[in-house]
Structure formats: C-alpha cells, structure tokens
Structure 1
Amino acid sequence: MEDKETPLYMRDFKIPLISYGPNVPYPSFWYKIISSFSPKQFALFALFTIIFLASATGIMRKIGDAHLVVVPLMAGELREGVIGAPRFINPLLAVSQADRDLSQLIYAGLMKPSANGGFEGELAESIHVSDDGLTYIFTLRRGLKWHDGKDLTADDVVFTVNKAQDPSLKSPKRASFEGVLATAKDTYTVQFVLSQPFASFMENTTMGILPRHLWADIASDVFPFSLLNSGAVGSGPYMIERIVNDKRGIPLYFDLEPFQDYALGSPYIKRIKIRFYPGSEELLNAYEKGEIESVAALSGGTVSELRKDGAHAVGAPLPRIFGVFWNQNQAEIFRDKAVREALDLSASRSFIVETVLSGYGVPIDGPIPPGSLGEPTKEELLSISESSLRNKERAIELLESAGWKQNEEDNVRYNKGRKLSFTLSTADTPELKDAAMLLKTGWDSIGAEVTLKIYELGDLNQNVIRPRKYEALFFGTVVGREPDLFAFWHSSQRNDPGLNISMYTNSKVDKMLEGARRTIVRSEREDLMREIATTIKSDSPATFVYSPLFLYILPEKVKGVDLGAITTTGDRFSTVSKWHIETERVWRYFLDK
C-alpha cells in the first residue's frame, strides 16, 4: 500500500534497525522529525550531516596520526652482487671484498662504526678508558649468543685477540694489536692494556669476534683451511641460511637470514642473498638482467651510466687512496729516484678522476686522503691540477738529466743497458683497468714501456700481493677514520701479512709512525701525520693517484639506510639491522608496552 504521508524524497530513506535493549524504546520520533522536513530542510540536513562526518573522520585521522607510528616489518629480500668468491669469511683473515662483506654481516665486534663517523657499542654495553690512554675496559651486554645458540663471553674476545697476535697465523689484524694484553676479568668484562697509548685503538675493537668453542682446537697453521671459513658461525646481524656451490665447489651465492638474538635487535630484511661473479662484466650483466638489485664499490663512470637508466645510488666519503706502489725488489729500475719521480710527474691524476670516476673522487699526491687527520690543504690539492703538459715536460727533463735516453727505434728509454720497462699489475675491475690504461698511456709518452697484468681480485690478493710478486702494483689502501699509517709504511710491515706493499724503509718515518700511535693530543698527532706524509711523498715509494667516493647502487625500496663514513666496503652494512623494506602503522601505546 502506498505511503501518502511520507514525502516522496523520504520514501527510500530508512533508519537502520538498532537493538537498544529490551527496556530502551526505539527512537521513532527521529524518523517523524526527519519526515517532517521540507525538501530544502532535508537537503541542508544532509549537507550538514556529510560535513559532520567528514570533520569527524578528519579529527579521528589526526588523532590516529598523533598516536600511530610507522614501524618496520620483518619482510622482503635484498639481492646483492659481489666480485670474487669468498675464501675467508673470518675477521682475522678476510682480505677480499667478498670476505669482508660477509664477515661484516655474520660477525659482530665489541664496537661498530656509527652513522656519524664515530663508534658505538655492538657487543659492548659500556667502555671505560684510563686517563693515560693505556687501559680500556669493555663490559659486554648480558645474554649474548652465537648463531649456534651458545653463550658469548669475554673468553671469546680474548681468544680472538690472541689469535690475531699469533705470528704463525699471519693475520692482517696483527699489527693492530701489537703490544696489547687482553684479559677476561670475568664473564662479561674484557680489559685491554696497551704498552703505549694508541690513538686509533678504538677502531681496532670493531674487529669481529670468533667463537672460541669452535676454533680453540684448530691450530694456527691449519686455520686458513678450516671449513668454518666458509660455514661461518658468528654473532652478527645475519646468519647463514644456505650456501649454493657450483660443480667445482665454488660458492655461487649465500642466503642469509636475520639472527633473532643479535645484540642490537633482530634485523628487518627477511633475507639477504649475496651472489658472486668472476668479474665486473658478469656483475653488471646480472644487474641489468635483474638477477641482483644492489651493487657496491662501482666506478663513478659506471654509476653515471646506471643512473641514466633509473638506478638509485647513494654515496659516502671513503678514507682510501689508490696509487701505484713500486717494488724495488722486483724491478731494479725503481731504485733510481729519478725514474720514480718522473713517473709520478707524468701520472694523469685529474684526467683519471674526470674520465674514469666521472668526477666522483679527488686527485691526490700523498698517502693521506682528504677528510682524514693530516689531510692535504686546499692549496696542495689545487697544485695537483697543474697542466699535464707541463708535468710531462718536467718528467722528460728529469729522465734526460739522469741519463735515460730515448731509443729512436722503439721509443723506449735506456740507461747503461737498463731498459725503462716494467709490468703494472692490478685487479679486474672497470675502474682499476681503465685508470691503469690511462697511466700506461701517460708513461708510454715519456719513453717508458709498460705492460698491464690484470688479475681476478681474489687471485691478485692471494697470489700476487701477499707474496709481493709484482713490479708495480696499482691498488687501493684503506687508511681508516683516524688514519694509522703504521701498517702501510713502517719497515716492519714490509712482508705479508704487513701492508707495506712498497717495501718502504725509512728509520725517521718509522719513529714518527710509532710516535703518532702514542700521541693522544689530536693537534700534536695531526702535525706528526703531516710530517710523515711530507717525508713519504719526498721519498716517492709510490705514485698516489686519487681518493674516490664510495658509491652504492641500492633499490629505493630499502629504507633506513645511513652509510655514514665508510672505511671498507663491508662498512656499508654497519647499520644493516635498521634497514627495512616494508612497514606498518601501530598504536604508540603498544610500542610502549
């Protein structure tokens, strides 16, 4: 039956039937009131109702924004590519990028680099340093665990340091702990007593700690051959989920999963897959095919090309120098200082930075990079950019006056039967190969005969650098946040595992290097560092070429990345436990709980 009392515009308007309980009358009077509205009144009522609901929604949203916070979720996967297969996933033996990257992810140190360029506790909860700078006392966090569930204690720390000091192990970390006595005062307390103050000691405590219960029965001479160097067990943010090898037993990739008991809290990215490639060409092909989505330590030119195709790149200062190190034991011509100085003058530093690095670097001519203690002045850096033609002319004059005459038949210089000829060894990466080619071109133009020898990075480290089997080596060295040049230039570090790859010897520099380690006052240490750099530069044991920026291709989906100051490529993972891909909004109340 037609309802003639209800206005036409109200006939489809229904009030929901709501149960108010048995003793509460149904509010039918609201329906009668609304039914009595004229069309104009009803339209106004509807408008005001919409405005009210919209305002209420906005207010509720503001209240939600004030009390809801965005938090990371444990989710997502990051696929990263690295050149070279790992051999020593061991903080005492790691040399290659693959070794260092995996060691950074799998192991934890007492301290770790912070995003602001300093250090913060990782396994250590607190630290006390004596006024004389000789005693460091670290207190460990309670409840620390290894990836296999065993307890981590002060005994593990002492064991690791003692192993690093063992001369038969030949650890690259040995020089960092010379003259240091490590003692476990109790389960959670480690004391280091230094024989003399060491201004850079805090950086040494970022070294990853080994599990004593797994390594204690392995003799130092078989340490490098242990399966634990591949199936590593640490206490870092990520642990090995699985390893996939090829038919020859060489790792293709590692799948890493979050360590739930990590000292600083379980990481958020659910899986990190590290894939290994023999060279840069294979690495970049894998990136272009989408097999991997992040790549580190690329050349500036490569990054510039990838960015044109939409790649997302981040960068950070890198306290690292690249140069050519002269091995006078393998090539007698380098004993002639005129040869070393002429080669230094004709090195095309600025051109290399602009073309090979696409400007992502700084030309240098000394052992300390910009941004480090004792860095070159602006005037000194500016002088490096002198005309390459002028430097070439000076180099030729220097060789001529030293008796090196150019042969018209082969355009190579000779001096008393000696030929100005040598091999230049470097790694199979685009940046190093391209820069080495430009160095060769410049040196050929002044009458030198240079032959390039290119090696896979792991092969270069293991079979060329460590046994010092090269005439000239184009390579990079990391001087650290608070540069300690001892391992690179002290005469005691000429042989492996020392890093004095020029086999440089100068008793005056030795004393200054030892003094710089003992000097706690920063201004005094800076003066010493400058004097050391000036003396080394004057002796020309190497041709310093450039200091690069650290460049990292990383997908934009990864948030929370703060690289800070990078010392080694592995340092990019210093804050990996905070990286995340997915988030959710939760009430602040539940976080407080």
Structure 2
Amino acid sequence: MDERNLRGFIEQVKDGRLSRRSFVQRMLAVGLSAPLAGLMLAENGVAMAADLRAAYKPAKAGGGGALRLLWWQAPTLINPHFAIGTKDQEASRIFYEPLAAWDADGNLVPVLAAEIPSKENGGLAADGRSVVWKIKPGVAWHDGKPLTADDLVFTWAYARDPATAAVTIGSYKDCTVEKIDDLSVRVLFDKPTPYWCDAFVGIVGMVIPKHLFAAYAGAKSREAPQNLAPVGTGPYRFLEFRSGDIVRGERNPTYHLPNRPYFDSIEMKGGGDAVSAARAVLQTGEYDYAWNLQVEDEVLKRLETGGKGRVDVVYGGNLEFLLLNTTDPNVEVDGERSSLKTKHPAFSDPKVCQAMNLLIDRKSIETYIYGRTGKPTANTVNGPERFVSKNTSFAFDPAKANALLEEAGWTRGSDGVRVKDGKRLKLLFQTSINAPRQKTQAIIKQAAAKAGIEIELKSVTGSVFFSSDPANPDTYPHFYADMEMYTNNMTQADPAIWLLQYVSWEVATKENKWQGRNVVRWRNDTYDAAYNAAQSELDPIKRAALLIKCNDLAVSENVLPLIHRAKVSAVGARLAALQSGWDNDLSFLPDWYREA
C-alpha cells in the first residue's frame, strides 16, 4: 500500500466514512499489526478511546460493593518506580495512573492526558525530537491537591536520578521534561525518537506527587512513607497495606472519569498459590478475580466446570524464558556474586548455550502443561507481528546437543557427567514455586541428564523470588544460580523498552541495588549498536529490521525463549473486567463492573 492510499484511508476514518475497526482490518490485510495501525491513527488525531469504553454500563459511581482480587504473589511495596515484579506494579496501578495506557489492540488511550499527542494536534514534532503532553484539567491527588505539570517534571527527575535507584530509570534518563504551563509539558529528545510514548505511559509511566516525594528524592528514596502508603490520582484511595499480605482501598469520590469507579472498595489479597487462587474464583466464588494463573490448562478446564467463573486468555507479549548466567554465581568479587568481573565456566561458551537450547522440549511443555495458555517460541519478541523475527527456530535434538558439548571440550566422566578442566558440568537451576514451572524444570533436567549435564533444581517462594529487596540473595535480579526461569511481561505494543533488558548499560549489579533490567548480565557490542540505531530510526521498516536483529542476537546465546504466554486470569461469572495484553491487568480498573 503506497502512502497516498494509506492517507486516504486515514482521512476516511476521520470523516466517519470508514470505521476504526475496518481500518485496522485493512491494515492487517497488507501485513501491518493492529497496534501499529492504532498508533498510526493516534498520530493523525484519531482517538481510539471511544470504542474501548463504549461497553461500560453503570450510570453512576459506586454501589457495586467490594471488589475482591487474589494475587498469589503478594506485593511488597506500592511505589511504581521501585516495582520489580508485576505484583508490585499491579498494586501501584490501583492508586497511581500514567498519562496514557495501551488497550487490548495496542492503541494508546488517554488516562491523565487530555488527548494522545499527534502531528495533527501539534503534539508530535515533525523531526521526532519532542512531544507535548496536555494534562486533563481538574484531576486531583487523593489528598485534594491538584495534579499539575510540576508533578510530571518531578516524576521525570525522580526516576532518572541514579541515586533513586528506580527500575524505570531507562524510560526517563534519555529525555528532558520541561513545563510549558500548569497543564502541559514538553518531552525533549537529543535525537529523533520514533518511540516517543515511553515516559509517562503504561507501567513505567505512573505519575507520583511532588509535594509528597520531593523530600525523599535521590538517596533518601527508600525512606518515603508513601512507598507503603500511596497517594495517587487513581479510582481508589489507600486504606491499608500489609507487605506480603493485603492491599485495601476505598472508592475515590472525586475520580476524574464520569460514573467511575463502580465498586465501593477494593481488596488485593496476596499469598497462596496459583491453583488455590483459581479455585477461589472458579469453584467457590470467594473472590472476583485471580491473576496470573500459572496452572496446567487441564486443571483450569476442570475448575471451570464449577460454574462460578471463567478463564480469560489474552495474548500480548508475555514470555516465559530460561536465562543462562553469563557470570559466575559461585565466585564472590567485592562482596558480589554473579559479578561482571567473572565469566561463567560453561555459559561463556556459545556452544554450551546452543546445546542447552537443544535440550528443551518446548512442544512437550506446551502439550502437557500450557495448552491454550501458551505457545512454544524461539523469539524473545512475540508481538506485534511486524516485529516478530522469521529468522529463528527451535528444535529438540539431544544428539546434536551432545555433539556440541564434545566440540566445546566437555567430556563425560566415569559417572556420565561431563567434565572440563577438572570442573563438573553441574548447574543450579532456579525459578519460583508453581506447578507449571516445577514440571518444566523436571522436563529440562531429564533431557539434560541424557547429555551429561547434572542439574540441581531450586524453587523459591514467589514473594521472595520476585521481591524488590536488595538485601535478599534469592531474588531473580541477583541471579545467584547458573540458570533461572520466569516470565517477563512486554507491556508496550512496541519492543523498544522490552529489549532494554539485554543492553549492556542495564545490567543488574550491586552498585545499582540490582535494579537494572539486564538480569542475565549478557553484553554484546553488536546488539548495543543495533539497539541504539533503532532508537533514532524514523523509517518504520528499517527500525523494525534493527529490532528484529536485536531479537536474533539475544536468542543466539544466553537467552532461551520457551513459551509465548497468554495473560491467564480467573474472572467471576458476572464481572466485566476489561483486559489488555499490552499493559497491567489493572490498567483499565476504573472500567470494571459487575453485570446485573
């Protein structure tokens, strides 16, 4: 499709002669993704929010009683800029909000913003070096103070300060935010930036109040009382938080969206396990919603027969993957294990990494564990379609794995375990506790044993494994093991932020309190160069090619994708819970209600 025809279709949408849905379908037919089609409309002044919220039925706020949520990995803090695990991000999203969110089709929709910036409304600069965000007027913090541009400027400064040790630093450190007036800011970039919708958007975009956090910026960031007692702009006001247990809130009577929220109170209960969480919604009806059901599909199908609820399966960019440590977790340097000053005795050799990849039976993992809730994959980027590599593949081939290990100099000892330079090929493989992961561990261990690799399995309680505590050695960012497995969530309809987890400057270390995104400690100059080039490439085709190259480099060595996971939740039979595969589960919490 040439540019003239494309612009013609966009004009038809703007004039009302072509529906937004029909436009997206036409773009899909010529090979573009739904998120890209939505972003094209947004950049040309066509809002998608009207379709998103058209199904909301309540005619007034309140009256819905209690909304009971079950998170089997309990949150440990409620500051979105310290939220390492999804559980902390979700708890934060009850109270804090970004300027915009990603809907189910990957379209940007305004939350605290008055509108989505576009070239037509003057929000996007033609040279790709700036974007203007306008704040929705009349929004107030839960303590009654008005939301202003000063809060956005402060959030930017807070998150980008290395002394704050925010996990969101990567989204704010390469831009400058300046106040235009009380209700608008300009985000400036040093170079043309095609992915301008990072800062202040989605999971990383939640705005915090300057008047409460200003005294705790930088080195004092962890001392802020609001880390545990949030004051936001969201649909619910804070009531109670017990770390590792429960979060409670009440309806915000001054919420900025009409007739919302429907529920009078909210409770996020943590703890337990995924199966008991599913049962509490699907069989007993004790809870309205259960998150992240890492449960075999056959079990979910049996529980659904209880008639109290349903299983919702929503695909986005979530990935269950296996990371092979590039550093040595058994050697301590300056009080730090898995230090960048060490090399892993096995996984610093690409042949050993390739052999390990060939010992993963992804099809069996799909068939016997995930079913409708996951698809085997060789890619770290699994959507939108335009960014998905066609250059990769996976195979289960123990014979070839054995040959690669021989080539790498690992020979079988008398007990069958391979040895090189006097060191046995014995590996510690850790993950969080839930049945699918333990079964996946067992499948991989069994295949590895046939190749002469001895694997010791370690399972860590989810609340510990995904904790943000820098003093806890069992968290996944510490990575004090040879291998580890978990799910990471690509929560933007663009892989730019997702792929930060493999760049050299994002390595998790003791110095940054293990807040860096690059947990595997993998470093590759070619990857860094391709990633940097993509960040200023305004041609969408060339940019996609660069990001695909990044994907291909990462999965060629220490990053082993396993399953493209759906977001799986248990939902009460009468609960209308708007979901997006590209944002938090609770990104559209204000629109949840219970059918009559």
- Normalised to the residue count of structure 2, the TM-score between the two structures is 0.79
Contact 1:362 1:546 in 2 (8 A): yes
Letter in 1 for 2:407: S
Letter in 1 for 2:247: F
Contact 2:507 2:521 in 1 (8 A): yes
Contact 2:318 2:565 in 1 (8 A): yes
Letter in 2 for 1:472: M
1:184 aligns with 2:179: yes
Q: Deviations over 1:446-498 (max 9, x none)?
A: 11111111112232234333334232121222333100144211111112322
Rounded to whole Å, the distance in 2 between the matches of 1:86 and 1:532 is 32
Contact 1:427 1:455 in 2 (8 A): yes
CA drift of 1:134 comes to 1.0
Change in 2 beyond 3 A, CA 1:362/1:87: same
Please, which runs of 5 or more residues in structure 2 have no aligned partner? 1-55, 118-122, 329-343, 509-513
Contact 2:58 2:593 in 1 (8 A): no
CA drift of 1:160 comes to 0.6
Q: Deviations over 1:39-80 (max 9, x none)?
A: xxxxxxxxxxxxxxxxxxxxxxxxxxxxxx964453132211
Rounded to whole Å, the distance in 2 between the matches of 1:292 and 1:70 is 22
Change in 2 beyond 3 A, CA 1:115/1:398: closer
CA drift of 1:421 comes to 0.8
CA drift of 1:159 comes to 0.4
2:98 corresponds to which of 109, 122, 135: 109
Counterpart in the other structure of 1:143: 138
Change in 2 beyond 3 A, CA 1:289/1:582: closer
Rounded to whole Å, the distance in 2 between the matches of 1:367 and 1:114 is 21
1:338 aligns with 2:351: yes
1:416 aligns with 2:414: no
CA drift of 1:332 comes to 1.6
Equivalent positions of 1:126-137 (< 5 A) are: 126=115, 127=117, 128-137=123-132
Contact 1:326 1:473 in 2 (8 A): yes
Please, which runs of 5 or more residues in structure 1 have no aligned partner? 1-68, 584-593
CA drift of 1:173 comes to 0.7
Q: Bigger CA drift: 417-426 or 261-270?
A: 261-270
Local SS of the residue matching 2:527: helix
Change in 2 beyond 3 A, CA 1:530/1:486: closer
Contact 1:154 1:190 in 2 (8 A): yes
Contact 2:216 2:222 in 1 (8 A): no
Counterpart in the other structure of 2:27: none
1:553 aligns with 2:570: yes
Change in 2 beyond 3 A, CA 1:466/1:536: closer
1:456 aligns with 2:461: yes
CA drift of 1:148 comes to 1.0
Change in 2 beyond 3 A, CA 1:98/1:534: closer
Counterpart in the other structure of 2:439: 434
Rounded to whole Å, the distance in 2 between the matches of 1:374 and 1:474 is 24
Aligned length, in residue pairs: 497
CA drift of 1:197 comes to 2.7
1:272 aligns with 2:247: no
1:404 corresponds to which of 410, 418, 435: 410
CA drift of 1:219 comes to 3.9
Change in 2 beyond 3 A, CA 1:303/1:227: farther
- Normalised to the residue count of structure 1, the TM-score between the two structures is 0.79
1:542 corresponds to which of 556, 559, 563: 559
Q: Bigger CA drift: 70-79 or 525-534?
A: 70-79
Letter in 2 for 1:255: R
Counterpart in the other structure of 2:303: 306
CA drift of 1:187 comes to 0.8
CA drift of 1:352 comes to 0.8
Local SS of the residue matching 1:397: helix
Change in 2 beyond 3 A, CA 1:533/1:96: closer
CA drift of 1:284 comes to 4.9
CA drift of 1:263 comes to 2.8
Counterpart in the other structure of 1:499: 517
Change in 2 beyond 3 A, CA 1:320/1:197: farther
Local SS of the residue matching 1:451: strand
CA drift of 1:200 comes to 2.7
Q: Bigger CA drift: 151-160 or 224-233?
A: 224-233
Rounded to whole Å, the distance in 2 between the matches of 1:427 and 1:507 is 31
Higher relative contact order at CA 8 Å, sep ≥6: structure 1 or structure 2? 1
Letter in 2 for 1:342: A
What RMSD, in angstroms, separates the aligned Cα atoms of the two structures? 2.2
2:544 corresponds to which of 510, 526, 542: 526
Rounded to whole Å, the distance in 2 between the matches of 1:322 and 1:428 is 14
Q: Deviations over 1:111-164 (max 9, x none)?
A: 122243211111110330101111111111111100111111100111011111
Local SS of the residue matching 1:332: coil
Q: Which structure: larger Rg?
A: 1
Q: Deviations over 1:231-251 (max 9, x none)?
A: 1110012222344x4xxxx45
Q: Bigger CA drift: 159-168 or 327-336?
A: 327-336
Letter in 1 for 2:449: D
Rounded to whole Å, the distance in 2 between the matches of 1:335 and 1:233 is 46
Q: Deviations over 1:393-418 (max 9, x none)?
A: 11111112322222343x21112312
